[in-house]
Structure 1
Amino acid sequence: MLSFRLAYIFCYNLLQFCGHSWILANTIARFLMFGKDALADTFYSVGFVMSLCQLLSILELFHIADGIEKARLLPRFFQVVEKNVLLMVVIVLEELQSKPVVCVQLFLWNVLDLLRYPHELLCVLDQPSVAMLWSRYSLWIPVYIISAASEGATVYRAADSAPPAASHVISVPAVLRFYLLVLPLGASVTVWQLLKERRHHLDKWNKRKKRK
């Protein structure tokens, strides 16, 4: 019998998949129509939906903690924090929103999520696909590393764009530069945990195929 938890996690993954599909399709269509000129206002076109999807991704931490989703909490925590912090920085610094690096960052984030959510949907339906499994746990890792490097470039540009603060206020550029130092550590931990997760799931798949 279909349980509420199963229906909820299916609807959540479907909603995220549809949201990121729309963002990626919109971004590619605008680039094909307007070329490089589309880079300047990509954030204005998809920023609201992207922010909504990333805000909803905070729920995934509760999914893992509650056992609805079988995944490691630490790497997902770093991923959620990275994206939401960087989005807040981009939203606050309006002059950064028209930079090409922001468009590249949004593109990479959506590629990552479209590698993950279809796999999660198939797992909820108990219809796993080896192609989606491989994409989720093999192709996802190098794309994530590129995305983390792009995040570093975005934060660096943000640190240069941020206005200097008064002496009694926390310096935004200083906070961003500190975040720039922490980012490689968080990304390294995430990649290490994901490699372990990849080995576990691929071994599990191979054992399942042997039993059949």
Structure 2
Amino acid sequence: MGQSFAVGYLLFLAKGALWTIGLSTIALIGGGVLALIVALCRISALRWLRLTTALYIQLIQGTPVLVLMFLMYFGLPSIGLSVSPLLAASVSLSVYVSAYLGESWRGAIQSVPKAQWEAAECLALSRWQRMTKVVLPQAVRIATPPTVGFMVQIIKNTSLASVVGFVELVRAGQIVNNTIFQPFFIYLLIAILYFSMCYPLSIFSRKLEARSGEKSYA
């Protein structure tokens, strides 16, 4: 194997890592939008809406991401809806993220002191104004550390997209290994790349949690 081939393989893995980051970003944004809706539905005044959302959360949290991807990529074509590997992976991960972040953000919203809710109500603000101007800004500060920490799980779960043919980091590694047959070196390199993506987020999350704890204590 010449040096040019080695560089080419490394660039291919780097491209797979970029797709991992891209897929993680799509899942975080798409799942975040759905998670906000889920969180607001969970605290709705309508009982049927709260129960329906709770059922959705239990259903998604009780279903492996891999099964969601199989349903999207292999199940939908059976009813005439063909989807690309990227779309299947993006939707599956977004749904997964929505259930976990939705419940986490619901907890953050409800952890805002009751006095803040009452003060906003005394100002004769509408429910929408209370949420957007008083409650949500405080909930965002509370929810940021666990959300950053959860991004690590999103990045690692993108590896499951390889089963539907999406070429992210793991799938890129499989393709390279099938060419040069050096599994130990290739998968060790993949592990290092995942570590380099996840470890800074873990450190950042812990710093945010520590800072949040200091402000709460103060």
TM-score bucket of the superposed structures, by smaller chain: 0.3 to 0.5
Q: TM-score, normalised by structure 2?
A: 0.36
Q: TM-score, normalised by structure 1?
A: 0.37
Q: Which has the larger radius of gyration?
A: 2
Structure number with higher relative contact order (C-alpha < 8 Å, ≥ 6 residues apart): 2
